[in-house]
Structure 1
Amino acid sequence: MKNKFISLTLACALLVSVFVAGGGKAAATAPIVQPGPADSVQMLQQPLDEIDSVIQQGIADKYMAGSVVLAARSGTIVKEDAYGYAARYLDDDFTEMENPVEMQTDTIFDLASITKVFTATAAMHLYEQGEFNLDDPVADYIPEFAQNGKSDVTIRQLLTHTSGFPAWIPLYQTTDSREQAYQEVFSTALEHEPGTHYGYSDLNMITIGALVEQISGERLDQYIQTNITEPLGMTDTMFNPPELLKDRIAATEYQPQTDRGIVWGEVHDENAWAMDGVAGHAGLFSTAQDLAVFAQMILNDGQYDDTRILETGTVEKMETNQLPDFPGNAHSLAWELNQDWYMGGLSEPSTLGHTGFTGTSIVISPSKETVAILLTNKVHPTRDAPSTNPIRQAVAGKTADAINAWSASAMKALVKDFAAEGEFLSDEAAHSLKIHLTAVSHYEDRELGDKVIKHMEGFQSLLDHQQENMSEDAYETLKTNADYLIGKWQ
């Protein structure tokens, strides 16, 4: 038998590692981010390896010039790879640089809207100190915000994108300073009554950034550095990176409209650029590994190593759907929840994540203790490139497959999840599949590889027989994972 189960020692280590800080969990065993083999955290290598071809095809098809992928479970980095180029083109005609810069795993990316979850974390840090309540009117802290019928808009509504704000306004065309930009946002009228409409808006998080500054007396970049990134040791995470780091930074768009040429080493977002590179909606730069540390802090209920950033109860608020009345737009406090269009197979009600316009995304699955990070320079050299959403979805999906196909027991849990989500037309179909996988588990426990293969082939036949009784997604996912599991034992 080629592949055996992980040793009892490693299995016990994995079991201990999930007892993370807070909520009655053992803080001493909270995972930290470090590389390790996939099988040490019950993941198959094959689906992770298949991510390579997904990314390489995306580069060939000009979805992006390059990318970094990181996947981790229980703090163990099971995949961290770089592809393509961090800087390749001189203009939007795809004129090649004489000396293009190859992508590295420690390349620093413009995170774009992933900045929003750091801004929200900064705000919740102040919330813990009793500086505000989520349902307080924003105007209690920023009186100018009350203009044009916004006196009743609450902080919670900003964090959940239910304030009624328009999605965007061109601050870079209408203002000449950071303070002017704030004043224009504060005077902007709503498009919807507060609390009646979900509408993703940069203006919400620009205002949250202003709130952090108003309450703390510090500029947003300084507050995030002092209270989040520096304590976590995220040394490659910053606003306005210095010139000396340019060769480590992924280039973004050719922007003749701002007279900046190829934007490289400064924020891509025009409004954040107009705000001196520091805004609540965009402007933060980081690496895949630094983001993995931040994500592990969330998975550890607010603590990383010996450093606590947020209290357990605060993290729970940031993981809880605040918008049950807006189906399809599940959202916590700045984090998006259960969004299949980029979370793929990791998507479920508890999964949180965010994307960025530059081609970045982060997915965090508390139930699987898993993080999937995809950083690309999709807008290099033009924002007119195809959407990277299918690639985001595939990366998260392959990461999920690596977990779900580890064993028959893992596949049985997947069937149970599909049934709970209504993916089966009959309880009998799900029940028959689970019974079959229970039998396979017994053979796995005894390491009887030939019998595992034989009975998994029988599972495939049963799956084909029951195909009409389940969704296409459930069928294709279970079929793929059955193939992976058979491959593991061959």
Structure 2
Amino acid sequence: MRWQPCSRPGPIPSLVPLTVVGLLLLPAAASGAPLRTLTLAEPANAGMSAARLQTIEDLLRDAVRERRLPGAVVLVARQGKVVFWRAVGDRALIPERRPMNLTTIFDVASLTKVVVTAPLVLQLVEEGRVRLEDPLGRHLPEFQGHPAGRATLRQLLLHTSGLPPGIPREDTSTGPAAVLQAIRRERALHPPGTRYLYSDL
């Protein structure tokens, strides 16, 4: 995958870098665990200043006007209450301008590993549902008997699993099952835990 500079106008291409550990989260997400619902509230009701929050929007609008970024969405919540939620600028510039909105979905690409996957895996550890020393094959039977199946969750999170950096992009286009099959076709580059190699797998 190549980094594409922000100066190139237009929508950001859809990237689907899935992390093997992230696939562990699918059963957890479907388990019916209660979700906390955020409610809308005035900033003062959560002990915050509306005037100070407004400076966030002002700064973002300045950045858009000065062409430092095309657009942004910001949400501030405190004590279970959403006190500030704004969208500024555009989410696409070509072939036509499309404004940002409050529910715009962003592709965080490789940041998914540190912003989503790692915290959720650690939450599962705190709940006692997985252990960092568990081999991947214990939670994804498709990997039992495969070199990747011997790598621990810790090794996957630390990029010491032995897996290659990625899989061909076309193998990510049809969903998680295709991704798992593509990863199973890959050969380990070294034994788990012996070497660091950045990997999207």
Q: Which residue of 2 aligns with 1:482?
A: none
Q: Which residue of 1 aligns with 2:146?
A: 145
Q: Which residue of 2 aligns with 1:185?
A: 183
Bigger Rg over Cα: 1
Q: Structure 1 pair 201/56, CA: closer, same or farther in 2 (3 Å)?
A: farther
Q: Structure 1 pair 61/194, CA: closer, same or farther in 2 (3 Å)?
A: farther
Q: Which residue of 1 aligns with 2:133?
A: 135
The partner residue of 2:166 within 165, 169, 181 is 169
In structure 2, the gaps of 5 or more residues are 1-34
Q: Structure 1 pair 175/106, CA: closer, same or farther in 2 (3 Å)?
A: closer
How many Å separate the matches in 1 of 2:69 and 2:194?
A: 37
Q: Structure 1 pair 71/143, CA: closer, same or farther in 2 (3 Å)?
A: same
Aligned to 1:107, the other structure's residue is in SS state coil
Alpha-carbon shift at residue 172 of structure 1 (Å) = 1.9
Fraction of identical pairs, as percent: 29
Q: Which residue of 1 aligns with 2:88?
A: 83
Q: Tell me the matched-pair count.
A: 160
Alpha-carbon shift at residue 175 of structure 1 (Å) = 8.3
How many Å separate the matches in 2 of 1:41 and 1:183?
A: 48
How many Å separate the matches in 1 of 2:105 and 2:171?
A: 30
Aligned to 1:55, the other structure's residue is in SS state helix
The partner residue of 1:34 within 22, 36, 39 is 39
1:39-58 → structure 2 map (5 Å cutoff): 39-58=44-63
Q: Structure 1 pair 57/164, CA: closer, same or farther in 2 (3 Å)?
A: farther
Q: Structure 1 pair 45/191, CA: closer, same or farther in 2 (3 Å)?
A: farther
Post-superposition CA distance 1:383-437 (Å, at most 9, x none): xxxxxxxxxxxxxxxxxxxxxxxxxxxxxxxxxxxxxxxxxxxxxxxxxxxxxxx
CA contact (8 A) 1:138 1:145 kept: no
CA contact (8 A) 2:167 2:182 kept: no
TM-score normalised by structure 2 residue count: 0.57
Q: Which residue of 1 aligns with 2:18?
A: none
Tell me which amino acid in the other structure corresponds to 1:75: G
Tell me which amino acid in the other structure corresponds to 2:168: L
Q: Structure 1 pair 65/181, CA: closer, same or farther in 2 (3 Å)?
A: same
Alpha-carbon shift at residue 65 of structure 1 (Å) = 2.3
Aligned to 2:156, the other structure's residue is in SS state helix
RMSD: 4.1
Q: Which residue of 2 aligns with 1:156?
A: 154
Q: Structure 1 pair 183/56, CA: closer, same or farther in 2 (3 Å)?
A: same
CA contact (8 A) 1:85 1:103 kept: yes
Aligned to 1:189, the other structure's residue is in SS state coil
Tell me which amino acid in the other structure corresponds to 1:156: R
Q: Which residue of 2 aligns with 1:101?
A: 98
How many Å separate the matches in 2 of 1:31 and 1:192?
A: 41
Post-superposition CA distance 1:182-240 (Å, at most 9, x none): 3442323246851764x55321xxxxxxxxxxxxxxxxxxxxxxxxxxxxxxxxxxxxx
CA contact (8 A) 1:137 1:153 kept: yes
Alpha-carbon shift at residue 58 of structure 1 (Å) = 3.1
How many Å separate the matches in 2 of 1:48 and 1:174?
A: 43
How many Å separate the matches in 2 of 1:57 and 1:153?
A: 47
Q: Which residue of 1 aligns with 2:193?
A: 194
Alpha-carbon shift at residue 40 of structure 1 (Å) = 2.6
Alpha-carbon shift at residue 137 of structure 1 (Å) = 2.2
In structure 1, the gaps of 5 or more residues are 1-29, 91-96, 204-490
Q: Which residue of 1 aligns with 2:3?
A: none
Q: Structure 1 pair 70/170, CA: closer, same or farther in 2 (3 Å)?
A: same
Give structure 1 regions of 4+ aligned residues with deviation exceeding 4 angstroms.
Answer: 113-116, 118-125, 127-130, 173-181
1:241-390 → structure 2 map (5 Å cutoff): none
Post-superposition CA distance 1:280-315 (Å, at most 9, x none): xxxxxxxxxxxxxxxxxxxxxxxxxxxxxxxxxxxx
Aligned to 1:89, the other structure's residue is in SS state coil
CA contact (8 A) 1:72 1:78 kept: yes
Q: Structure 1 pair 39/162, CA: closer, same or farther in 2 (3 Å)?
A: farther
Q: Structure 1 pair 118/170, CA: closer, same or farther in 2 (3 Å)?
A: closer
Aligned to 1:201, the other structure's residue is in SS state coil
